[in-house]
Structure 1
């Protein structure tokens, strides 16, 4: 859990509007190979509820807000994302889910690898077994 953390991104303020940028292997600890985003999530819904064996991710609230809950199988931590100039780095073997989406929320996810279904752990009991083996 100690490797997962909030990362502040550069914020260039200007009277015409602010600009934030990020670069893989500079602002976040991996090279970006895939980008996807979640939007139009109905009120009361949650997303995620899985872990990745090898994938690194960085999650940003581009608009609106939502909560990200991470668990290493022992400890759990909730992050509230509500600004586009910081995000949460998610290391491999973290169970995650997102909830508490505001109306119009957009969640941007940067990933270290292309989509690979074999990297997913979708059963929580299986995740707990694999996580315990890593301790």
Structure 2
């Protein structure tokens, strides 16, 4: 699996906590896009796609969720339940976010601008793509 679960250094004092995320330091790429998911519905997953070239870094800044990553040969589920914990998702990795807590805010940082043609939304197409690259 080409992923990295990373715990960030928490800075702070009696006034509160702070986590700094910098491109090419804690985030392993130049950040071109940031979006966040919130107000999710119980039992309804998000994601269920892969990208041809986009790499992403996911952080649950509030609440928790699970992320299942799949490289076509193995699947692994990660729990994002602390704001100082992030998950790297490489290109050509199928990702599904699920089991959101009611208060979850999942922030995603991406190395590419939005491009609809970069999405692989059919799982069989994804499997063909990754199995042909092997």
Equivalent residue, structure 2, for 1:59 = 58
Equivalent residue, structure 1, for 2:17 = 18
Equivalent residue, structure 2, for 1:113 = 112
Asked if structure 2 preserves the Cα contact closer than 8 Å seen for 1:63 and 1:105, the reply is: yes
Asked if structure 2 preserves the Cα contact closer than 8 Å seen for 1:52 and 1:121, the reply is: yes
- Whether 1:93 and 2:92 are equivalent positions in the alignment is yes
Aligned residues: 134
Equivalent residue, structure 2, for 1:44 = 43
Asked if structure 2 preserves the Cα contact closer than 8 Å seen for 1:57 and 1:110, the reply is: yes
SS of the residue 1:130 aligns to: helix
Structure 1 stretches of 4+ with a deviation exceeding 4 A read none
Task: State the Cα RMSD in Å.
Answer: 0.7
- Whether 1:30 and 2:29 are equivalent positions in the alignment is yes
Asked if structure 2 preserves the Cα contact closer than 8 Å seen for 1:44 and 1:100, the reply is: yes
- Aligned pairs for 1:68-107 (under 5 A) are 68-107=67-106
Structure 1: gaps of 5 or more residues: none
TM-score (norm 2): 0.97
